[in-house]
Amino acid sequence: MFRLRLTNHGLKLGAYLAIALLASACSTNKDELLPHGDRTMMDVWDQGSSGSSSSSSRQLLDARQDLRRPLETRETDNTMFTRTAQNEIYSQFKRLPNPDLVMYVFPHLAGSDPAPIPGYTTVFPLYQRVQYAMPGERTEAY
């Protein structure tokens, strides 16, 4: 029976050989992959923009005309998405109603030396903090 005995040195040598084979298999020549002729980039640009034939030039101009936007602005399309001072004040997070409560405080004595306090009326909000609705949440009365 044949036994193959690999040492640590033999494993390293095998690993280096495998890496070298993989690296050489992936290598290629730049000129082979991206061939280039005698024309410069300026020549390619000039030919593409002026066109070698009048029909291709006309097609290019028609395509450019289709892609052009009109000069006038349509405010109805962009007003919902444009940030303005008014938009920022009246933002998409609407304030929820916070009704005022009116309370009458009867005459009473207050303090460690009881001092008479006359009766008075005060107003305070129902909720301690201002509450905001989530975007799209209904804020009008049900």
Q: Is residue 126 part of a domain?
A: yes
Q: Which domain holds residue 123?
A: 93-135
Q: What is the pTM of this model?
A: 0.30
Check whether 95 has a pLDDT greater than 60.
Answer: yes
Tell me which residue of 68, 49, 46, 71 sits closest to 59, measured CA to CA: 49
Please tell me whether residue 26 adopts helix, strand or coil conformation: helix
- The dihedral of CA 124, 129, 130, 132: what is its sign? negative
* Residue range 111-126: mean pLDDT, rounded: 92
Q: Is residue 14 part of a domain?
A: no
Check whether 60 has a pLDDT greater than 50.
Answer: yes
> First vs last Cα of the chain: how many Å apart?
91
Q: Is residue 116 part of a domain?
A: yes
What's the structural domain count of the chain? Answer: 1
In this prediction, what percent of the chain has a pLDDT beyond 70? 66
At residue 54, the pLDDT reads: 63
* Residue range 104-116: mean pLDDT, rounded: 93
Q: Is residue 110 part of a domain?
A: yes
Q: Is residue 100 part of a domain?
A: yes
Q: Is residue 55 part of a domain?
A: no
